[in-house]
A and B are shown apart, each in its own frame.
Chain A
Amino acid sequence: MELNQLTIHELHELITKREVSSTQIVQSVFKRIETVEKDIHSYVTLMKERAFAAAADADKRIREGDITPMTGIPVALKDVLCTKGIRTTCGSRILHNYIPPYDATVVEKLKAAGAVFTGKVNMDEFAMGSSTETSCFGITRNPWDLKRIPGGSSGGSAAAVAADECIASLGSDTGGSIRQPAALCGVVGMKPTYGRVSRFGLVAFASSLDQIGPFTKDVEDCAIMMNVIAGYDSRDSTSVPLDVPDYTAFLSRGIDGWTVGIPREYFIEGIDPEVMEAMKSTIAVIEGLGAKCVEISLPHTGYCLAVYYIIAPAEASSNLARYDGVKYGFRAGDGRDLLEMYKKTRSAGFGAEVKRRIMIGTYALSSGYYDAYYKKASQVRGLIKGDFEKAFTQCDVILTPTSPTPAFTIGEKMDDPLQMYLSDIFTISANLAGIPGISVPCGFTRRGLPIGAQFLAGHFEEGKLIQMASAYEKNANLEKRRPNL
């Protein structure tokens, strides 16, 4: 086994025993990047020099005995997280040269914990998409099948972990952008409760839905990453001042006596039969651990997609209004006047999907339509939240497939936005309700593509998700596979 193939906790053990140094781990990761990056294209910007400097610094701290579970561990950052002095593009031409003057809170926290950043990873433009095909820096490929997409929008974060081009990564999830690519790339991905992790320095897509979360190789690593990034931040008024438990304490508690809800509305036509099969075996494993699986109902599930595609574009239309070519980023320089400069800049600076959502959002908010669309959608969002509140009086966690299908082929859904949007049909509800969700690998298709199971819990119950996912992971006896690159 190469160092870059190990988990955070395995590497931490080796570091603590002084058997390997952070520099050796970083070397191993960059060697891997050099070998596979041309096929995968996870990264938009590599931070090689800084990474080795940070590794040397980590090694010094390690020698001094100043070690956290993240010290010296190489981590990749989705290119939507602001990094001081390092280009942050959101995969968009309009920010292709934007260098932030400050670090996002999560970046600060990881830095303080001793993590080493390997680079900024690819994504759908402004996190709008489910396939990482809309980045102005080109597509990212699925390490399990290079003809296929890695999911999205955090496709770079998922692919980099799956291809061992980093040990863990951060992504962002507005409608499934962590969980869906985690499922499609066979890694663990968690979207925390809205308000659990500070969004300060996360370039906003839809501010009432966005949340930052980790991609890791196993559930234990997910708990370790959550321990670092979770917590109140005065710079984000929507973060919640609640104590953060030690998430690693939930790892081996088991789920004996738990009730797992299976929402009947999520087992619908259109789910790939192999995904359905994997779900059945997942239920069997869970029941074998002493938990009871019961059918529950989330009656407003059918409205989730419609509500999401009003609220998210509406918020995006104002969040993206600042990209006008005046202060930073791309500017089309030959406008005759201000209005023409705006039009040319935004026409050339944004890709088709971003423009589509800005237009949907502007329309939904325009006078005369506000009540019919945005206001009604907000009301239905309340009902969807209510569904979950009721459900969690009947069960500890909810189990669903993460994605209705395994990874699809590159270009397959690019001309059909509605088909693309359906790819997030099981993940969107958690963002609308603000609840946490985790995707864990639960098997492979006959073609060798990973399948993910999603667990959902009540607000601030990330501990329960880790307890559930960890128990499942330990007992599922899934075949240990690595992508063949």
Chain B
Amino acid sequence: MGYEAVIGLEIHLELNCMTKMFCNCPNLPGDEPNLNTCPICLWFPGAIPQFSHETLEKAVITSLALNCEIQKESAFDQKVYYYPDLPKGFQLSQAHRPLARHGWLDIIGMDGRTRRLRIRHVHMEEDVAKLVHETEGRTPISLVDFNRAGVPLVEIVTEPDMRSPHDAMEFIRALRMQIRYAGSADCSMEAGTMRVDANISIRPEASEVMNTKVEVKNMNSIRHLGDAIAYEMQRQEACVRNGEAIVLHTRLWDPDRRMTTPMRGKFEGPCVPDPSVPAIRLSEEWISEMKSRLPEMPGEKVERFINQYGLSRDEAVMMSSERDLSEYFESVVKENIAPRLASHWVATQLLPLIRERQQNIAESPVTPARLAALLSMLAGEEINTSSAKIVLTQLFERKDSPEAIVQMSGFSQVSDKDELDRLVDRVMADNPSAVEDFRNGQAKALGFLIGRAMQASQGKANPKMIREILTKKLG
């Protein structure tokens, strides 16, 4: 009998707000330890939280990007637990009344079909402090860095709709794309601004039962998420086959040993509605205003790129995969460059060079205007493709315009009829056997001769004209 997994995810996103959630300290958790703290985020006695409007806006935009229904009324609760990362012994969260419910995202399943995965709710909560354990020296000590305490988070809780590591990984990719478009969070698992916990149980295939789940934490890439789920499915299956019961608990993914290990439980206490942050009441008008702030999302953009620019679906998906990329692409097209030429050059030439240099397309020295100038010379046959590729790499190093680089490096394509006539005559004289072969019906000899001509011109000859002249002279 085969088993299938039932997987639900809990995703914590750090919102990219200017300040913390309940005070005016800068939201810069990476600064020198305990620099960004005040009596409120250290929760000294007498401190009262001041809920930041920016957090609310970005949390609502995040929820809208996940197709959620924003709740007209939501509220904070105090989740009590004792741990030194929590300066007041409770975390402000929305356990009873979350900000948004009933969202969804579509993914392509392993069978190639679109599947809709449901999101149960999205709620706001504050991040906790970071613990640094120093084990060297005689007495091991634990240090607390409160820079991260009070950083605004949303937690996204899915329904248990995923059945495989593939589903979970695709869901996270889709979620990351939506949120990055919305611009409310950075969503980097590697940098810790997106933390994904997976709740996993297994059951016999085609069964509807919900068995005891195990929570797995500490995956810091999408790949690790897939690996951890795959490992946990195997582990649970082995347990069931050995007749062992699955116990509700939390496990940590160990990327070095490629396995999950049980984690010691924290003491979890009660949960009480927080009296100091007033309930959040949102009007229809305000929610509509937030909706209008959402940019064109990837789904709509793909369709528009196909219809407006005549891109293929694959090209459109590629050009829409990130908001910055799509904006770059459209800026190039606006300079009167054929959309498919722009898409082709961005995807196959520009992006690899940007990745090599670990740059960001929005801040690349090759601005859309500079790439467009280059492509326009290429389209006008002022330079050929191989020269264009060389010029492109030089655009990363030099501030000069593409036109200037072409001029200075002598990349200008030779399209002078007389000059090319002389070149072709010389190539034909130097390669009599190839000329012979062609006249004997070997068509591929033409390519050889064109190659020789290009080589002789150091790549500057207009290949189209060379072909025309050669064909005429050989015929």
Contacts and interface: CB of A to CB of B under 8 A. Distances in A.
B275 A315 contact: yes
A455 interface: no
B78 interface: yes
A317 B82 CA distance: 12
B270 A366 contact: yes
B278 A100 contact: no
B441 interface: no
A367 B79 CA distance: 12
B270 A237 contact: no
Contacts of A374: 272
B89 interface: yes
B87 interface: yes
Contact of B272 (A203, A318, A320): A318
A98 B45 contact: yes
Interface string B4-45: 000000000000000000000000000000000001001111
Give the dominant DSSP class at A's interface. Answer: loop
Nearest to A327: B87
A56 B296 CA distance: 66
B64 to A, nearest CB: 25
Interface residues of B, number: 32
Interface in A150-209: 199-204, 206-208
Contact of B45 (A88, A207, A361): A88
Interface size class of A (residues with CB under 8 A): 35 or more
A235 B50 contact: yes
B46 A200 contact: yes
Nearest to B49: A237
B248 interface: no
Contact of A324 (B39, B48, B89, B275): B89
Given A101-B39, A321-B82, A321-B88, A82 B272 contact: no
A236 B45 CA distance: 14
Contacts of B82: 321, 324, 342
A207 B276 contact: yes
Contacts of A95: 45
A104 interface: yes
A7 to B, nearest CB: 29
A102 B90 CA distance: 22
A1 B43 CA distance: 46
A197 to B, nearest CB: 13
Given A318-B90, A321-B80, A362-B269, A237 B45 contact: no
Contacts of A237: 48-51, 276-278
A115 interface: no
Given A238-B276, A321-B90, A342-B82, 10 more contacts: A81-B46, A82-B44, A88-B46, A238-B278, A314-B270, A318-B269, A321-B80, A322-B88, A339-B267, A362-B270
Interface of A: 81-82, 88, 90, 95, 98, 100-102, 104, 199-204, 206-208, 234-238, 314-315, 317-318, 320-324, 326-328, 338-339, 342, 361-362, 365-367, 370, 374, 378
29 contacts: A81-B46, A90-B45, A100-B44, A101-B39, A102-B39, A102-B46, A199-B48, A200-B47, A200-B48, A203-B45, A207-B275, A235-B48, A236-B48, A237-B48, A238-B48, A315-B272, A317-B272, A318-B89, A318-B270, A321-B82, A321-B90, A321-B269, A322-B45, A323-B89, A338-B84, A361-B270, A362-B269, A365-B269, A365-B272
Give 3 nearest A-B pairs by CB, closest first. Answer: A321-B89, A365-B270, A208-B275
